[in-house]
Amino acid sequence: MVLTLTSAHNLAIDLRQLGHVQAARELDEDTLVRRRHIVGTDHFSTLTTANNLAMDLRELGDVQAARELDEDTLARFRRVLGEDHPYTLRSASNLAMDLRELGEAQAARELDEDTLARRRRVL
């Protein structure tokens, strides 16, 4: 079952890259529900799918929903992997994009500055 979900996750990435964002969203939503059920809400693969679903939502113009999902995902990555893990930092960058698109430029800047400092230190 886990490998099936990985295939679904990868297909959703392909769909998004081919411009089929609504289809990617639907597949990511289904995959996220299943991953939460099978491996739990804080599992790395679940959080990665949540990140991808937030990208779908942002591209489809539902930036507020993307923000809410990205805020939750970032909090979980921070708790599970720590503040400086590369996946946590990627999640922070995603949230900053949401904030920027929602007109919260100062909050986006502060998050981006923190993320950049952490990436320079870690990477």
Structure confidence by residue, pLDDT tens digits, 3-13: 999 999 999 99
19: left (phi over 0), alpha (psi -120 to 50) or beta: left
Rounded to whole angstroms, the Cα distance separating 77 from 82 reads: 7
Cα pseudo-dihedral 111, 16, 69, 98, rounded to 10: 30
Q: For residue 86, what are its two tokens?
A: 């590369």
Residue range 70-115, pLDDT digits in tens = 999 999 999 999 999 999 999 999 999 999 999 999 999 999 999 9
Residue pair 73/50 in contact (Cβ under 8 Å)? The answer is: yes
CB neighbour class for 50 (10 Å; exposed up to 12, middle 13-18, buried from 19): buried
User: How many residues appear in the chain?
Assistant: 123
* Rg for the chain, CA atoms, rounded: 14
Domains of the chain: 2-122 (1.25.40.10)
The band of 53, judged by pLDDT with boundaries at 50, 70 and 90, is: very high
pLDDT score of 2: 86
Please choose, from the candidates 91, 86, 93, 17, the residue with its C-alpha nearest in 3D space to the C-alpha of residue 56: 17
Query: Could you give the percent of the chain with pLDDT greater than 70?
Result: 100
